Amino acid sequence: KGGQALMPVAIQCGQDARTNPMFLRPTPGNTAAFWSWQMAKNVVQAADFNYHEMFVHLGRTHLVSEAFSVATQRCLAPSHPLHVLLVPHFEGDIWINLLAAITILSPGTFGDIIEGPPLKAMQSGAVQDRRAFDFYAGMPAEDFRARGVDDSAGLPEYPYRDDALLLWNAISQWVQDYIALYYRSDNDVINDQELRAWTQELINKGQVMGFKPITSVAQLNSVISMVIFTASAQHAAVNFPQQSVMTYPPLSAAVSRTPPPTQTSGATQADWSRQLPGTLVTFAQYNFLQVLGGVHYRPLGDYRHNRFPYAPVLTDPRVAPALQRFKASLAQIESTIQARNTTRSHPYPYLLPSLIPTSTNI
């Protein structure tokens, strides 16, 4: 838009061009094509909604974090420095995933009601996508590069990219400072038998694609940074827009009550309205996503137990200076994002550090 952001200009609602014509963004005076274009956009939104919920949200945050949570509890002693650092970032993840299986992905529950695909297709699709998610390729800089959105000159307005990189850098520095207290050399990493067992657990049983033996301090920094980023910032980025962006079906719905349009002009507002979900689905979508997008709790950088008297988790006194630097970085990022939001076409609050929970707990 205005040379700053991505703008859709054409939509084809199916793969076969013989039966799926190309819908072009209508010019302001082309009223005959307006509602046909709106119907084509609904099809895109429905596809994006389902892809987002099952793959980007469930598979690549909840289920990825679960694999690391299980491996950490199985392979790292409670006194192991990585166990101490990581466990707060797994708080509630396994429980919320179990709850999702019961209340979202069971017959007649929210996912079954508001999502488009058959329930079994959603379940198997989420598993397949989770197993296909490449851990190293999913790191922010690599992901942006692979998708061709890393160039801020070519795509100036991409708030998720710009804010996520701030958080990635802050988390990476925090992890680097923390790990340096316990791993002085690459040999310390290689000779850590518990870390080796953790890695093998994630490769063999966790089935984390692309995961490999960790042989250097630098590699360990990247791995732990990605684990923390996924459980905190990445989950916040894909979870909390559900409340403000995805609760209103005319803007974003996972189902369409009519087939995709086949005529590029001539549709009416009544035709568009018939696409939208019915009353039950509308209320279910609104209520469900209001809950998922409305729960904020202990923010990133707050390493305390969740039971009274909420004692600090990181008790090694050597960690305190690094943690204070991390908190200072998060405070600076908060100010930077708030300033950015004053000039953006739409404010993007989802990666404000004060709104990022420590773990995937909702």
Identify residue 284 by its one-letter amino acid code.
A
Residue 228: burial class (beta carbons within 10 Å; 0-12, 13-18, 19+): buried
Enter the tokens of residue 264. Answer: 């590029």
Range of the domain at 161: 10-355
Cβ distance 177 to 101 under 8 Å?
no
| Assigned token pair, 126 | 């989420």
pLDDT tens, residue by residue, 268-278: 999 999 999 99
Residue-level pLDDT at 5:
83
In a domain, 362, yes or no: no
Which pLDDT score, from 0 to 100, does residue 4 have?
A: 83
Which DSSP category does 304 fall into?
B
In a domain, 141, yes or no: yes
DSSP H helices, the chain, are: 34-51, 64-75, 81-86, 93-103, 110-114, 119-132, 140-146, 159-180, 186-190, 193-204, 217-229, 235-239, 241-245, 269-275, 279-292, 320-341
Residue 309 CB neighbour total at 10 angstroms? 6
Residue type, 180: A
11 beta partners: 23
Contact present, 189 and 181 (Cβ < 8 Å): no
pTM: 0.96
List, for residues 142-152, the tens digit of each pLDDT value: 999 999 999 99
The answer to the question of residue 317 being in a domain is: yes
**Does residue 1 lie within any of the structural domains?**
no
End-to-end CA gap in the chain: 34
Domains held by the chain: number? 1
Residue at 325 is within a domain: yes
Which residues, in sequence order, are CB contacts of 111 under 8 Å at separation 6+?
A: 53, 100, 104, 105, 119, 122
- Within a domain: residue 285? yes
CATH number, domain with residue 212 = 1.20.245.10
Residue 153 per-residue DSSP state: T
Exposed (0-12), middle (13-18) or buried (19+): which is 354, by Cβ within 10 Å? middle
Q: Which own/partner contact pairs does 48-55 have at CB distance under 8 Å and 24+ positions apart?
A: 48/252, 49/115, 49/116, 49/246, 49/252, 49/253, 49/254, 50/115, 50/116, 50/117, 50/122, 50/254, 52/238, 53/111, 53/115, 53/254, 54/115, 54/122, 54/125, 54/126, 54/129, 55/125, 55/126, 55/129
Q: Does residue 4 fall inside a structural domain?
A: no
CA atoms of 162 and 343, how far apart (whole Å): 14
User: Tokens 């200009």 correspond to what residue?
Assistant: 9
Residue 15: HSE in the Cβ half-sphere, 13 Å Cα cutoff: 0
Please report the pLDDT score of residue 6 as a whole number. 86
User: How high is the pLDDT of residue 2?
Assistant: 57
**CB 21: neighbour CB atoms within 10 A?**
17
Beta bridge partners of 312: 304
Tell me if 360 is assigned to some domain: no
Distance CA 307, CA 88 (A): 12
**pLDDT (tens place) for every residue of the chain, 362 residues total:** 457 888 899 999 999 999 999 999 999 999 999 999 999 999 999 999 999 999 999 999 999 999 999 999 999 999 999 999 999 999 999 999 999 999 999 999 999 999 999 999 999 999 999 999 999 999 999 999 999 999 999 999 999 999 999 999 999 999 999 999 999 999 999 999 999 999 999 999 999 999 999 999 999 999 999 999 999 999 999 999 999 999 999 999 999 999 999 999 999 999 999 999 999 999 999 999 999 999 998 999 999 998 899 999 999 999 999 999 999 999 999 999 999 999 999 999 999 999 999 999 99
